[in-house]
Chains A and B, each alone.
Chain A
Amino acid sequence: MKRMLGAALLALSVAAPVADTWAQPAPRNTLVILREIDADRFDPHRTTARSAGESLYMMSDTLVSLDFDMRTIRPGLAERWDVSEDGRLYTFHLRRDVTFCDGRPMTAQDVVYSINRWIDPATRSPVRWRAGPVKEVRAKDDHTVEYELNEPFGELLYQLTLFFASVVDRNAVERLGDNFGVQGFNGTGPYCWVSWTPRQELVLQRHPNYSWGPPIYQNPRPQVERVIWRIVPESQTRIAALQTGQADITQYIPHIAIPQMRQMPNVRMSTQENYFWDYFLGFKVDKPVVSDPAIRRAVNQAVNREAIVRAVFFGQAQPADAYLNPNVEGFDAEAAKLVPRFDPDAARRTLDEAGWRMGPDNVRVKDGQRASFLVYAINTQIARQSLEAIQADLRRVGIEMRIQLWDATVGWGRLATQEFDAFTMSYPYVTATDAFSLYFDSQNRPTPNRMNWADPATDEALRKARTAVDPEVRQRAIAEAQRIIASNYVWLPIARDQIWVASSQRVEGVRAHGIYGVGLYKGLDIRLTR
């Protein structure tokens, strides 16, 4: 007995140090944030990954910032700005106290360099168009930037809040070359680059001089000494780490776990209703079967979005009864009414009236053509499950939807082809004009306008929505575009995702933001109580 006890103690003493390192709580004054996947690089002009944006918002700043309402533009590096009457010249008056992480003061030349680097074709930024039709960006003096456009671009200030418009240090870019944002970074953000171990962690430390945080926060200075962005691919592990205090914050929570986490006493959950990340199914409008508006209308009527939101998103999303979130700038309520409501009988009537007769295999037929179409998607749990639910709904009204799921490694390539009739994906957006210009402008075929939607009236409305100087004209134009798209059933809007940022007990001041899907935005106001 004694021997056994001794052996047990010995075993325990061996195991204890191991268990200790494993269950080690996050160190004092170090904020550990978990995410699912790592970024490709942290160069704002050469990446579009959300995970890059998460850290870039912390490491760098933009000229202007966006409030939690997702509509109000607030000061950033620019303390104020003027827009010329013709809408072609934006003059940004910069703060004078801004320095980079290495201590060098930031000037108008740095802003000019960064914007020019972003829009330089040689940089190959996939989102260069977001900078607008730039004529010239120039420094009037050390603290004034003139941003001149070829034609007015009403979206400009919104686009300049995105991390693609981050200001970077020219010296660091030139010193690191291709490795900028891989081996190092120098920005003006509240936290500075320390090290990056790809697929493991990115370590940042507090920017000591930083006092120019956007006024949407209570305290413009960072209050945490170190920030570690750690990669934990497995969702259950992320949740467990948060519960046990090994990590402090994550926004990567599977929908199924959200209700449970909201009940946990040692986890705080923050959400925000102005979160613009939508799921939709798009039709290639020039392909057989789905080129018939009656089919697209019937699909919109046949699919029970509420049931999908309950079963696939576990109620942690909103059924998308419109193409856009009603809280987004430029949303048109009239267009939303044009999106058919769930009514399977109406779907059957629509198909009957259009001449689609029920065939022998319970799939409708018209002129010898079966009501069958092929949908592509990247193989994610949400895509798979929502497509299966849609498939079952459509089967009930006599439409066959064939699903082909692809691994992410080949999926994006496949989604750029013309092999499929419909596809599903999700995307973040800032404004109505932003979302619609991206997807419905005929110039954006074949991607991201995978619907092949080419309509001069839409193009004209979108052009007006972007370029009109008068906000009223812009609103009318974007409303017009929404009505055209909704009445042509180009998409099946599925769901509007909801953002939840979970934080551990020792963290205070976390407030979900959600710009471009990024939960923490600048990461200010966050404090650690121990």
Chain B
Amino acid sequence: MSATTAQPAAEVRPPRRAGLLRRLLRDPGAAVALVFAVLIVLAAVFAPLLAPTDPYDNDLSLAMQPPGSPGLPLGADSQGRDMITRLLYGLRVSLLMGVAAVAFGGSIGALLGFLAAFYQRWLDGPIMRLMDMMLSFPAILVGLAIAAIFGPGIFSVVLALSIATVPLMARIARSSALVVMRLDYIEAARATGMTDFRLIWRHLAPNCLSAIFVFGTLRFGQVILLGSALSFLGLGAQPPTPELGAMASEGRNFLFFAPHIAVIPCVVIFAIVLAFNVLGDALRDALDPRLRV
């Protein structure tokens, strides 16, 4: 990749898919994590087909039935709703919140990072100091403030998580872009008279993608955890919307009497976060040789 070429557009494709996947699967931990992550996503996508019952229909006579009760392999929650159904639908909300926050916060962060790196002279200082300021606010505090303004809800949580993601992504994108900026083909492309926007879009961004992708994957796990924490505090999904953190929060009151209501969603959160962390690490390792320019 170090070779200078007059045809940079053909050169800057991210690593080939097949090679990446093969390298990823060489690590057994990563393979398991990948399979689990795919299953989780599939379960969330096909929740309406998989769920045995209506997620909103309660039956108070079944409230808090323990796992293994007839027809309820994972038991029922405090409203007598099937835990499996609630988990499947809860996954949807949690994963969507994660995807939205990483996509939204990540793209804004990446854009800011590119701008900071590209216009290093004027924008680097202001943008990165702003990012430092944003980093100094705990995400939970941001979440509380946003919930106080817009009212608790999924939108508030996504906004808070996005805001928490922006500065982190901006740093990753900037440092990665700074490396790329020094490469000759950027100079060459500039020499052809490309506009700044085209230069960023066609050359800078694609060559930073692997770093952004790795960070996005790692961040996804963290964001799910953080989103669950905000929901646990009552800032997120409002009833009856199932969400893993909110489910855990609800079950907390009955921890001694019906532990499964809190424990099961926590285990699911744990598994998702672990899977995406392992996956992110493996992805970084798999992409590493190419990053080392």
Contact = CB atoms under 8 A, between A and B. Distances in A.
A256 B79 contact: no
A384 B152 CA distance: 14
B57 A395 contact: yes
Interface stretch (B114-122, B162-170, B210-218, B249-257): B249-257
A384 B58 contact: no
Contact of B238 (A311, A312, A395, A404): A404
Interface in A122-164: none
A146 to B, nearest CB: 50
Contact of B60 (A307, A402, A405): A307
Interface in B222-268: 234, 238-240, 250, 253-257
Interface stretch (A185-193, A244-252, A266-274, A386-394): A386-394
B234 A379 contact: yes
Contacts of A312: 78
Given A254-B253, A256-B253, A311-B80, A404 B56 contact: no
A392 B242 CA distance: 14
Interface string B161-201: 00000000000000000000000000000000000000000
B241 to A, nearest CB: 9
B61 interface: yes
B151 interface: yes
B108 interface: no
A388 B234 contact: no
Interface residues of B, number: 24
A304 B234 CA distance: 26
Nearest to B151: A404
B172 to A, nearest CB: 34
Interface residues of A, number: 28
A311 B239 contact: no
Dominant secondary structure of chain A at its interface with chain B: helix
A139 to B, nearest CB: 50
B63 interface: yes
Contacts of B147: 407
Nearest to B81: A392
B234 A381 contact: no
Interface string B34-59: 00000000000000000000001110
A241 to B, nearest CB: 15
A199 interface: no
A385 B79 contact: yes
Contacts of B79: 311, 385, 388-389, 392
B130 interface: no
Nearest to A260: B257
A206 B165 CA distance: 58
A405 B257 contact: no
Contact of B63 (A311, A381, A402): A311
Given A384-B239, A405-B238, A310 B253 contact: no
Contacts of B254: 256
Interface of A: 236, 254, 256-257, 304, 307-308, 310-312, 379, 381, 384-385, 387-389, 391-392, 395-396, 402-407, 410
26 contacts: A256-B253, A256-B254, A307-B60, A311-B78, A311-B80, A312-B78, A379-B234, A381-B250, A381-B253, A385-B79, A385-B250, A388-B239, A388-B240, A389-B58, A389-B60, A392-B56, A392-B79, A402-B238, A403-B239, A403-B240, A404-B152, A404-B153, A405-B234, A406-B151, A407-B147, A410-B148
Given A304-B60, A311-B60, A311-B80, 6 more contacts: A307-B60, A379-B234, A392-B57, A392-B240, A403-B240, A406-B152
